[in-house]
Amino acid sequence: MKKTFILLIAVAFCVSQCKAQLLSGKKRTFTHADTLRGSVGPDRIWWDVQRYDITFQPNYATKTIEGNNKITYKVVTQNHPNIMQIDLQEPMQIDSIYFNGTQKLTGIQRDNNAFFVSVPQQKINSNNTLTIYYHGTPREAVHAPWDGGFIWTKDSLGRPWMTVACQGLGASVWYPCKDYQGDEPDLGASLTTLVADTLTVVSNGRLVARKKLPHHLASYKWAVKNPINNYDIIPYIGKYKSIDTTYNGLKGKLSVTLWALDYDLKRMRSHCEPEIFKMLKALEYWYGPYPFYEDGYQLVEASHLGMEHQSAIAYGNHFKNGYLGRDLSHTGIGLKFDFIVVHESGHEWFGNSITSKDIADMWIHESFTNYCESLFVEYYWGKKEAQDYVYGIRQNIANDKPIIGQYGVNDEGSEDMYYKGANMINNIRHAINNDKAFRGLLHGICKTFYHQTVTSKQIEDYINHFTGIDFSRVFQQYLTTTQIPVLELYFSEDNQTIHYRYTNCVAGFNMPIILHDGNNEFKCNPSTQWQSKIVKTASIANMLNPIFIEGQYYLSCKMVHEN
């Protein structure tokens, strides 16, 4: 998630803005603050987060919060600076910090959204804690989840309804942390929320304790046992009621809980419960076991469209199929399922279990998850429908800038990581030409990088090694350029030989082309140099036309005249 979805109007706006910047010659300028946020500097690299234990209390009337976060960390270098970088975005304030529970630290300096805290010298491999007390008025979301922050709203009966959406913006918008995607709390996290006793709090994982407090307050403590992204730790506060059930999955019984506002409970049961079970069955088939059996699966009604909050998926699709009742593939196929249930839950595998270290590599999250929509379609309605779906979403590709962003400056790159990235994976699948092997590849990625933070190179290298095919130039082409490769073709005068090459592509581009029509198969390995192959039958010749080839591969294909 980050920004997990793109409203079509938002896409149009973003594309127009990007095009305007390109035409004017403007490029994004990165700041010192971007570097502090997006890089592993000397005051971050020496300590590894083990746990977050967060306690906070929101004030709905004043739109303020106060609380503390106990950060448990491990020292991972022998010699380290006696400084720790702690992130908390303006205008939030740190009140005090305690080392190992008792020693108050006084050397605290602020640099915009980062605090630099003087700490004692510590031994390598030692585990220590910082308890950080804080308060303030967190940035309020304007149009969540795209323009995120804390969400203070009301349900349809005028009752308080609160949550947070902060992917991309960062968890430090509402609590102090090491706000870097490459360092998750390895031993899990807890969130304790104090609210009016008339409200219910839902969060990640399992409810550990609910306590009655003086002054008509109650506290809810939720916890996860698994590593978790900072931006995934989220409270949902409102008039919630639950539906508890169980899914018999690949690792045994998985607890499934649906949370809805009290007046939406029946719609949650009738619409979402069947969709969840269908999703789990299909995605466990394609990707392997759901990654968080220990923490369970929850779908939580939210005031915004949705987000992939780990083990507590935000759901705001108004109990409709498609994307708010629309089909992003423009084929009609997208109206056969609830887009939010499938897409956001798909992030449990790619995004939550497997997380990119740098958000420049967010294609790992979004491309595989976008492609899971077509895999879901294929599981229930067949391969042709799935291919039509992935072809249809190409209409949403902007080719405005590269998918991989700038490293070390908290830059996500192009939103094409969704639709273009999914089509790149589809290209790779066609080139592998073995659906069993492709499914094995997906299972292998999910097993090999289970609960890890990774780089694009790690995923690329794994795919190359597993398949025995070097897709390096394919990744370079689709992830780092905006060029659509062109496959040029021409037949010999007697129509017995086909000539082919790639243009408008990176040097050495060599994506294999394998075509099927149900009875015949044609294979070739084009490069940027002309090659040729004998065409044995008219049926194969019929496949060698631009419309058929473009239907299978995301590229431009055209017939040219012999040089």
505-522 residue pLDDT tens:
999 999 999 999 888 999
Q: What is d(CA 195, CA 258) in angstroms, rounded to the nearest whole number?
A: 21
The sign of the torsion formed by the CA atoms of 319, 323, 326, 331 equals: negative
Query: CA 377, CA 375: separation in Å to the nearest integer?
Result: 5
Instruction: Please give the pLDDT value at position 563.
Output: 66
User: Phi first, then psi: what are they for 109, rounded to 5°?
Assistant: -125, 140
Q: Which residues of the chain carry a pLDDT beneath 70?
A: 1-27, 563
Closest CA to 455 of 185, 85, 181: 181
- Tell me if 220 sits within 8 A of 195, measured CB to CB: yes
DSSP 8-state secondary structure symbol assigned to residue 326? B
pLDDT at 510: 97
Separation CA 238–CA 202 (nearest Å): 9
CB–CB of 293/449 below 8 Å? no
pLDDT tens for each residue of 387-424: 999 999 999 999 999 999 999 999 999 999 999 999 99
The structure tokens listed for 289 are: 């076991």
- Whether residue 347 contacts residue 4, with contact meaning beta carbons closer than 8 Å, is answered with yes
Per-residue confidence (pLDDT) for residue 291, from 0 to 100:
98
Amino acid 136 reads G
State whether the Cα torsion 132-296-209-193 is positive or negative: positive
Q: What is the pTM of this model?
A: 0.94
DSSP 113-137: TEEEEE-----TT-EEEEEEEEEE-
pLDDT of residue 8: 42
pLDDT given at position 27: 66
Lookup: tokens for 176: 């102090």
pLDDT of residue 562: 78
- Per DSSP, 523 falls in state E
d(CA 517, CA 171) in angstroms, rounded, equals 50
The two tokens of residue 262 are 């009290």
Other C-beta atoms closer than 10 Å to the C-beta of 544 total: 20
- Encoded amino acid at 557, one letter: C
The token duo for 211 is 């306590």
Sign of CA pseudo-dihedral 552, 557, 561, 563: negative
